[in-house]
Amino acid sequence: MDYSYFINTHSSRRRPAITRELTKKHYNAPKGAISLAEGMPNEMTFPFENINVNLKDGSTFSISGPELGASLQYIPTQGYPQLLQKLKEWTLFSHNPPNWDKREVLVTSGSQDGISRSIEMCISEGDAMLVQEPFYAGTEAVLKSFKPKLLAIEQDEYGMIPEVFVRVLENWKVKCDENNALRMPKLLYINPTASNPTGTTMSLERRKEIYSICCKYNILILEDDPYYFLNFSDKLTPSFLALDTEGRVLRFDSFSKVLCPGLRIGWLTGPKQLVQNVELHIQSSYLHSSTLSQVITYNLLNNWGFEKLLDHMSSVREYYKGRRDLTLAAMDEHLTGLCEWTVPDGGMFVWIKVKGISDVYDMLMTRGEKKLITFVPGHCFMSDPAAACNFIRASYSKAAPQQIEQAMKLLAELIREEKDL
């Protein structure tokens, strides 16, 4: 594949920063090598003696001595080497992608960071870009400044619909043939598992179909998959990365939903040339993701091993599954007849369609606030956020069960009042 096709002119001008390259060398320097090159502060001046971590399962670890020094120091942009190694092993273990030797992994500050920099690397002002509709508001926020022409692909309960995908591409092709200024889209953004906001998991058949369409039209797939392990079915659906025989997937992983978001640990896996280019974006912005977070995460993974990490993820999954069920019960009780919804396959959101109302924005943002209930208006997840929208995203993650019940009761009241206005 010619990856330069996906890198925009602006990004193709990036070059490695010599100081960052030297930091990389410092990590691999032979014993006895002397470096007066580093711009690193001396660890002797750091005020921390050690950092003790106590986990809820009773296990503990302490970060001290040289490891503490390293955890408070600058590191190579790609990531803390020990964590990087673990993330590679974990990605191989959980996805086993073909042609592993042609891929690279990069630690990012949450997956949002990887998504944002990858889009910045690829897209130019006014480009067409393919997105599933509805789609994650954080991606819309990245795209907005590029004023892209968003080609939205409708979804059903199995995810993006391949026939619609082909139709959208073919219609756009006709426009491109008529107007030389237009170009075919190079990117597809997809959130295939327990999608935010719909909770839908794309079936394996659909994934295979979408992948082969992307091969045909030479499209790079941005696979944003932070809820991969929060899919409620017993069997996980293979990722696009797992299917990627051609090397056209940039995959964004995150520990935000399965460990905690405050560590800001995400990682990007994809073809070497593209991942190395994203690394250059980070080299020239925040240098690297927090070393301390990376060292804590490394120790956690090292102490637990993958089996215990999987156990932990199962317990997180069960927690949200219980939350989903009690939310659906409250919705059945209060919203039947007023709204429609699909059962979320995973994650922490339910996507609700309000019947008989064309736009929910004012209802939620004015009268809803007076009732002290907050939901996200569906507009935030649409390719045209200014258009009327009668969908609502409700999160069942944090509110207590009685609060969820009360919120659904008040939402029903709100909808009835809105209809009477």
Q: Would you tell me which residues interact with ligand PMP (CB under 6 A)?
A: 110-112, 136, 138, 191, 196, 224, 226, 254, 256, 261, 266
Q: Rank residues 141 and 388 by Cβ distance to ligand PMP and give the closer one.
A: 141
Give the closest residue to 304 by CA, choosing from 50, 89, 61: 61
Query: Hunting for tokens 């736009």 — which residue is that?
Result: 359
Half-sphere exposure of 345 (CA within 13 A, CB side): 24
Q: How far is Cα 338 from Cα 341, in angstroms, rounded to an integer?
A: 10
Angle at 273 between CA 268 and CA 278, to 5 degrees: 45
What is the pairing mode between strands 265-271 and 103-109? antiparallel
Contacts of 409 (CB under 8 A, 6+ apart): 330, 334
Q: What is the CA radius of gyration of the chain?
A: 23
Q: Give the DSSP letter of residue 288.
A: S
C-beta nearest to ligand PMP: residue:
110
Query: Hunting for tokens 């130019």 — which residue is that?
Result: 124
Q: Rank residues 211 and 349 by Cβ distance to ligand PMP and give the closer one.
A: 349
Q: Rank residues 23 and 294 by Cβ distance to ligand PMP and give the closer one.
A: 294
Q: Rank residues 223 and 279 by Cβ distance to ligand PMP and give the closer one.
A: 223
Question: Dihedral of CA 110/112/115/121: which sign?
Answer: negative
CB of 187 to ligand PMP, least distance (A): 15
Question: Integer distance in angstroms from the first to the last C-alpha of the chain?
Answer: 58
Q: Rank residues 38 and 120 by Cβ distance to ligand PMP and give the closer one.
A: 120
CB of 283 to ligand PMP, least distance (A): 20
Q: Rank residues 111 and 237 by Cβ distance to ligand PMP and give the closer one.
A: 111
What is the pairing mode between strands 220-224 and 187-190? parallel
CB of 8 to ligand PMP, least distance (A): 22
CB of 226 to ligand PMP, least distance (A): 5
CB of 367 to ligand PMP, least distance (A): 27
CB of 370 to ligand PMP, least distance (A): 27
